[in-house]
Chains A and B, each alone.
Chain A
Amino acid sequence: MQKKHQPVAKRNHNKRLWLAAGLVLLVSLVLVGAWQMRSQAATREAPEAAAILAAQANMPFQILIPAYMPKEVIREKVGISMTETGPGGEPMVQLVYRTKSDDTIFLKQWVPVNPEKEILAGSRPVQTVWGQGYMIAQGESLAAIWVDVGPTRVSIYTPTQKHITREEILQMANTLGPASSSQVFDFVLELPEVLAVEPAPPFEPPVNADGVQEFTLVVTPGGYDPLRIQLKQGVPVKMTFRAIGQVGCGKELLFRVSSSEVIEGRLETEAEQDVIEFTPQETGEFEFHCSHQMYRGMLTVVP
């Protein structure tokens, strides 16, 4: 049987059609993609703003909401509770956000009387745009952060980190703002890193009139105070060692002042004080601790 050939012009026509179709498909895909990105990256009015502002009327401080929340969160369904009172009987507000997968994000806000005296057990200091915050992340379950925005303390927490990460919690904390003017969004270019805060600079005892670096080292059930000490090389030191509370092995102090010398302090009773005098000879970092190494601190000697 003779093979039937298609005319050349017809074949070319088919090829062009394919090409055109492919081009149209490509262009439309790119357009849709761009649309999608734009729609995701758009900020919008906070849908919960009206509810927050209604609650605001009863609160002496500005209620804050995070501008950023993960896309999963249904902002419209925020629960607002003001039944719990905060420290000193002051008001406290709690916002409860649910996600599509039934996860929960809590925001609790209050004005602490003495902010430095309210402590989140087991938390680590972390960097936030508001300065130092405190974060706790227990395995895969609880994630919580405390940040102070002006006088207001905001606690943001979620029972499980299955869908909401600690970075997202930090981003929510970083984008806190009043509900009145909030343009909220659910995209991030890059989530912030959870960074531990550098420890506070070590305590440097002043040199008194006699040219002695004089200070007191207290051991409490919570550890040494000060925890980090910085001394000047060659300047005599007079350190009073004492204990407050039941400190167990903390009564025995092994205070390393150089790579070769350890000074021992010992308290028989709580009322007792032990005065230790020495002159730092060697620069460097030396750890001091109790006899069981349960309590530890750090001495730095600088030139």
Chain B
Amino acid sequence: MKLRKLLSLVIMSVLILGALAFTPGAYAPVQAETEAVSASVVYNLYATDGFVKMADWAPGNPLLYIYGFIGSRSDQNLVWYDYTTNTANDTGAPAPAPTGGPVTPAEQFLAGKAQLPAPVIWAKVGDVVEIRLKNLGVHAEPSAPNDPHSIHLHGLDVDAANDGVPETSVGAVPANMCVDGSTDPGDNCTSAGGYAPGAGNVVVYMFTAETPGTSMYHCHQEADIHVQMGMYGALVVYDTNDPAGNANSTFCTGGLLNGKPCGQGPNSGTGGIYNGFRYDRDVIMLLSEIDSDYHNAEQGTYPVAPDPSNSNFGRAWNPVDYLPEYWLINGISFPNTIGVSNSAIDMAQWNVAFKGYDPLLTGSMSVTTNWSNAQWRTRGEKVLLRMINMGFETQPMHIHGYHLKVLGSDQRPWPWANRVLWGRPTPFNQGLEKNTVLIGSGETYELLLDFGQQESFSIYPTDTQTRYEPSDNTPRSNTSTTHPGIPHAGVVGDPSYIAGPTVTGAVVPLPDGTVAALDPTGTQIFPFHNHDDYKATNNGAYPGGQFTAVIPLP
């Protein structure tokens, strides 16, 4: 009797289970959207040429000829910088998606407006990134070579066909030219024997962002020329839950973190976590150089050799004669790098056009945000420096007053940076902390800058020299009683301003050793520069070149 009961129980349960399986709509409950979901990220880019100004440009001087990219993320307006008027121009819409075939009027508008550097491409792990590239050909200098262009995703380990190297991959995108090599005269090349093979192509590069880190993208067609000519930009991959890379990050409330919008990419003030270290903001330092001879050769203004009277080597331009005169951070040099405008660049406008590329380093020395790492909560904002060397030279980048903690390099975290000792993370004074980072061509570094390492103020005794005045070769002493405001990306009254406030009384030392009357606008300024000091010049004039500043704010 017992056995029979047991049997029927078994049979019944099998039947019930079967019936359950048959129930319509037997789907698992729908999960809430989490922060980890993949997005489809699109950048519409155009290759073309253009003109820029170096930091020492003066009215009447020629502009520098470049090749480059112009375009935007598909959900952000295209804003481009015009070097002739020194204005940022918001087109009011994202860059148009490239159309295969002849250049459309909307695309033609972008011809000759190449930007230096190209827009930052950023995504988060798991996103599919689509970069659509069309080659508009040369426009600013119609006689320059109508070269093909490509996009090489430096450091992303894509397969060879997708690697953007014309000799080993899908071919570069040819300019919109006719079969005889001439530019389309406007009749779709019918009068010139038809289009060249591949002319007007739109090549779509697709990849999945897989590893958080910093990398770069650049044209690999005749890489020596096209990289030097300016065809490069930064590429940043955030971790899935990084506020800067994800508007739905669990660290954000209503899309905001500390009042700033999440999911806005580099230098937007929301930060993320890299190699276990939380950072409040990330700043791109994309290093490169300019040898104007290269640019003049492409433009056709390099003196024809042999001409020993010229500054060249008495022969036609040869890349082994490389001798740069300008060293750039994010496409600009000092004093523009610290937010100072001059006749070359209006930095307020520049910062609107080159979103995410501001190279001036500021941060609070005292703020401990909720976002700061609870495990090693120390005062001061933490800034992740994404250093990229896109130039041909090796650069020793030296920071004053701080040590930079190496968190990773070349898209890989450095394991020793985040060692746990005695069961506790020991974030500082171990691992690899450097004041001079030697970065070779093609390398990238993730470096943590802790603004808590310095005070925002310093004491300058009256009547001591704090500044050297380049205009008349005389020292300046502390006699002023006002502070120079160093607004973030604002205009400093004296463009030759370089280091050390010209003021006294920023703080008042009291007999008991404390200080009083701290003015929030008074601040220390630390240089951060290339320690091959001749590279801290603009064509030989110091200060200039790869030179920016670190300003700890209260």
Report A's interface with B, CB cutoff 8 A: 17, 21, 24-25, 28-29, 31-32, 35-36, 39, 74, 76-77, 83-89, 92, 94, 96, 98, 100, 102-104, 106, 108, 112-123, 136, 138-139, 141-142, 144, 157-160, 218, 220-223, 225, 244-246, 248, 270-271, 294-295
Contacts and interface: CB of A to CB of B under 8 A. Distances in A.
Contact of B172 (A28, A77, A157, A221): A221
B11 A122 contact: no
A116 B100 contact: yes
B197 A244 contact: yes
B100 A117 contact: yes
Interface string B173-209: 0100101010000000000000011101111111110
Contact of A35 (B3, B21, B158, B206): B21
Contacts of B166: 221-222
Interface residues of B, number: 72
Contacts of B38: 103-104, 159
A222 B197 contact: yes
Contacts of A83: 74-75
B179 A244 contact: yes
Interface in B4-44: 4, 7, 10-11, 14-15, 17-18, 21-22, 27-28, 30-31, 33-34, 36-38, 40, 42
Most buried by B among A84, A117, A136: A117
Contact of A112 (B100, B169, B208): B100
B147 A245 contact: yes
Given A139-B159, A141-B208, A244-B196, A85 B11 contact: no
15 contacts: A28-B15, A32-B21, A88-B99, A100-B31, A116-B100, A119-B204, A122-B159, A122-B163, A138-B208, A141-B210, A144-B128, A157-B128, A218-B197, A220-B148, A221-B148
Contacts of B126: 104, 159-160
A92 B206 contact: no
B162 interface: yes
B40 A108 contact: yes
B148 A245 contact: yes
B415 interface: no
A259 B42 CA distance: 50
Most buried by A among B18, B158, B206: B206
Given A24-B11, A113-B100, A115-B100, A17 B18 contact: no
B168 to A, nearest CB: 7
Given A104-B38, A117-B100, A220 B206 contact: no
Most buried by B among A74, A96, A102: A102
B171 A294 contact: no
Most buried by B among A138, A223, A225: A138
Contacts of A94: 40
Contact of A117 (B30, B101, B128, B169): B101
Given A36-B18, A159-B128, A136 B206 contact: yes
